[in-house]
Amino acid sequence: MLTFESGRAIRSRYVEMSYSEFTLSLLKSQFKLTIVEQVELFPSPKEITPSQLLQDTLAENIPLALGIDTEKARSEMIIAPVLIELRKLFDRNISLFSGIDFTIDKEPGLNGICDFILSKSPEQLDLTAPVVIIVEAKNDNIKSGIPQCIAEMLAAQIFNERAQNNIPSIYGIVTTGSLWKFMKLTQQTVTIELKERFIENLELLLGILSYIIDPTLTRSIGFDETAETQRTQR
């Protein structure tokens, strides 16, 4: 990147980049990260029964999204309904953001648009407590989305530190809609789950997502279909 000083061009100390341009090697060297590969991040998650609405929606949407076979179709028809369901499971006490500018620090490249962010706050007009970063895999390539996801997780970590949010770990997901790969950032250690989770096991997927939002969750959460219907009819 060129800047100008006293009428002459000089090369600045950094080249402006964005989340999607990072590589694992650059992340490790620039942010002093340790990468740990672990077979399972969630050895015994509690399964959660999805609502009938989500079951019906995905039964209709998954074949259609796979047939269209674009990132936009998978995002709108598979990923978004699952995340909306999660928000409802927590009685709208978490917020969901899609396609927002999440610029934290341009100099090291922590800027760009995030596909999805889950925030540990009911505030929907303003992002205040990011806890989960979700990246749509490009060209069905989960592995290629991992560096971008980690970069966005680092940005969320910095955001929370500045806001003095007590969120010790940031979770990340790279997904095609069909496959979901999870990772966790704690301090300067990134743990990547080698196992991939499948949308076909929706109960387990919702259980993992719920655990991320509230690891101390001991009560059974799930849908009371009657109560949900009454809520939406008010």
Tell which residue, 24, 42, 38, has the closest CA to residue 143. 24
Cα separation, 30 vs 32, whole angstroms: 6
221 falls in which pLDDT band (50, 70, 90)? low
Query: What is the number of structural domains in the chain?
Result: 1
Cα separation, 144 vs 155, whole angstroms: 19
Rg (CA), the chain: 19
Q: 79 lies in a domain?
A: yes
Cα separation, 74 vs 83, whole angstroms: 13
Mean pLDDT over residues 142-163, rounded? 97
Q: 89 lies in a domain?
A: yes
Q: How far is CA 209 from CA 124, 173, 183, 205, in A?
A: 19, 10, 12, 6
Range of the domain at 126: 17-233
- pLDDT for 16 equals 73
The length of the chain is 234
Q: 1 lies in a domain?
A: no
Q: 8 lies in a domain?
A: no
Instruction: Return the number of other C-beta atoms located less than 10 Å from residue 83's C-beta.
Output: 20
Q: 176 lies in a domain?
A: yes
Q: 156 lies in a domain?
A: yes
Q: 11 lies in a domain?
A: no
Q: Is the pLDDT of residue 234 over 70?
A: no
Instruction: Return the number of other C-beta atoms located less than 10 Å from residue 186's C-beta.
Output: 12
Cα separation, 197 vs 78, whole angstroms: 14
Q: 4 lies in a domain?
A: no
Question: 65 with 78: CB under 8 angstroms?
Answer: yes
Interval 27-40: pLDDT, tens: 999 999 999 999 99
15 falls in which pLDDT band (50, 70, 90)? low
Cα separation, 45 vs 38, whole angstroms: 16
Mean pLDDT over residues 171-184, rounded? 97
- pLDDT for 215 equals 82
Q: Is the pLDDT of residue 228 over 50?
A: no
